[in-house]
Amino acid sequence: MTERLTIALAQCNPVVGDVAGNIERIRAIRDACSGVDLIVFSELVVSGYPPEDLVLKPFFQDKVEAAVAELAKETGAGKPALLVTAPWRENGKVYNAVLLLDGGTIAAKRFKHDLPNYGVFDEKRVFASGPMPGPINFRDVRLGVPICEDIWKADVAECLQESGAEILLVPNGSPFETEKHHERQMHAVARVTETGLPLVYVNQVGGQDELVFDGGSFVLNSDCSLAVQAPPWREATVVTEWRRAAAGGWRCEGGEIAPPPDGLEAIYNAMMLGLRDYVRKNGFPGIVIGMSGGIDSALSAAVAVDALGSENVHAVMMPSPYTSRDSLEDAEEAAKLMSIRYDVVGIEPAMKAFEAMLEPIFAGRPPDTTEENIQARTRGILLMGISNKFGSMLLTTGNKSEMAVGYATLYGDMSGGYSVLKDVYKTDVFKLSHWRNRQRPDSALGPAGRIIPERIITKPPSAELKPNQTDQDSLPPYDALDDILRCLIEGEMGLAEITGRGHDAATVQRVWRMLDLAEYKRRQAPPGVKITRRAFGRDRRYPITNAFRKIL
């Protein structure tokens, strides 16, 4: 009877669609783990996660299956066995599968039973639900291999325990959101408590479009004690030693326990990793950003510098006659503190040209937001021109508060390929800016110390599209606005609940109306890092044409 096992947790960063590259990542991890019995990978590591409609293409599935078959042949001759995950065809259906590769063959297959179909998840669209799984026999040890969502309820783990599983090995593709790591561990603790079995949780790391996977893989022993925890935000392979206890159960020997993602540091790291991988995986040489002298562009630039390095960030200030001297000075100082390229391109000539071109049509009508929007769209044209000429991706700088209420110009400041602040409320933009001036993340490529000028953080926010303008001319104070928005978006609360928190009913109704009317803008916004439980996009799907305009 097997008395000892060595199991490696492979917390890696696959690229969706790069089957050959992902297989090479698996091989590199395997070759670095000599002497290990089994290596466990995260969910759908062969295809990358989430692959979405790629799995509906038969020729993509052909590539996956051929690559897995070749990898399986390489597991003979004393090499570690591999517990890999891939979309897999069986009897005319496609499953989210975990595959044991051992002894030169695909030794066992199990399919995900509980397919998530909420929030950002849409697995029922592309996968069939597998039957309740039984354990896999490996070296005379019965391994239960539920996949991700399978442990968020009790039935799959209970079925595995009843059919003789001794250890639960769980591949996961669980994206970051605030407080998510704690939630994962609570579900894992519940399954361990119910089954009496130790549990290995292997999570993906890296950015994939709007999702960021934070890693933080861990092992719980059967007494729910935390034996091992991998670091968040980076790839890691953690080797664990297991012994069979006298009573017959298995126990993992204690190892390193890295601190989990938490607070503002976690949000900043998520933004940084999401941007880094979006730029890297899509082949951009760097980013260009409109530097206004305001806090949103300054924080976005800071994240970009930390994610990509100063040499890969190009800031452009585009002043108008309404741009204050403070903004000009603050933008230039921020660029110097971040050591990034900084150019100034004034937009007044374009403003005058548009005014002359439109004068015959606009005759007799006073200036209004039309002229303000033309300024924003002029800046968008300039930035997209620079992006096209040099190949750098335009980074959008709008935050969640602005996008919620439509305080942004379509085809203007909304132009761009990606946003790091898309799911960050304005009040958190201030907090994150203070935090970054005090701390530099471990993986950051930017300079230490203060990189956002203090006046940028303390001055009243303004779009500076007309004289003496501030955001509060047309919006409630951000403390109140953000609390109302959280109630409406994350909480789905009604009027009575929100006014019970001290908000004026007319203000709540006004914010709800702005939120609802701006849906058409958000549909056309670039992707951005998911931070909260309900980011705009697949998390929150509201109709554009919508007559439900009043909170009851």
Q: What is the 3-state secondary structure (H, E, C) of 34-89?
A: CCCCEEEECCCCCCCCCCHHHHHCHHHHHHHHHHHHHHHHCCCCCCCEEEEEEEEE
* Contacts by residues 461-469 (CB-CB < 8 Å, ≥ 24 positions apart): 461/294, 461/295, 461/296, 461/426, 462/294, 463/372, 463/376, 463/407, 464/292, 464/320, 464/322, 464/323, 464/324, 464/327, 465/320, 465/322, 465/372, 465/375, 465/376, 466/322, 466/372, 467/322, 469/322
For residues 287 and 312, give the distance between their C-alpha atoms in angstroms, rounded to a whole number. Answer: 6
Token pair for 342: 């900084």
End-to-end CA distance of the chain: 66
Contact 329, 357 (CB under 8 A): no
For residues 287 and 117, give the distance between their C-alpha atoms in angstroms, rounded to a whole number. Answer: 34
H or E segment to which residue 357 belongs:
helix 348-362
Any residues with CB less than 8 A from the CB of 364 and at least 6 apart, and which?
none
Any residues with CB less than 8 A from the CB of 90 and at least 6 apart, and which?
97, 109, 111
Sign of the Cα torsion 56, 62, 63, 64 reads positive
Q: Name which of 142, 185, 180 is nearest 164 in CA terms.
A: 142
Q: Work out the angle between the directed axes of helices 478-489 and 505-517 (0-180°, nearest 10).
A: 70
Q: Enumerate the active-site residues.
A: 43, 112, 148
Secondary structure letter of residue 125 according to DSSP: G
Q: Is the peptide bond before 321 cis (omega within 30 degrees of 0)?
A: no
Strand partners, 40: 9, 83
Strand (E) positions, 224-365? 226-229, 236-244, 250-252, 287-290, 313-317, 341-344
Contact 48, 25 (CB under 8 A): no
Strand partners, 520: none
Q: Which residue has the tokens 């058409």?
A: 520
For residues 11 and 19, give the distance between their C-alpha atoms in angstroms, rounded to a whole number. Answer: 17
For residues 451 and 340, give the distance between their C-alpha atoms in angstroms, rounded to a whole number. Answer: 11
H or E segment to which residue 323 belongs:
none
Q: Which residue has the tokens 């293409």?
A: 57
For residues 105 and 454, give the distance between their C-alpha atoms in angstroms, rounded to a whole number. Answer: 61
Q: Name which of 238, 245, 155, 243 is nearest 203 in CA terms.
A: 238
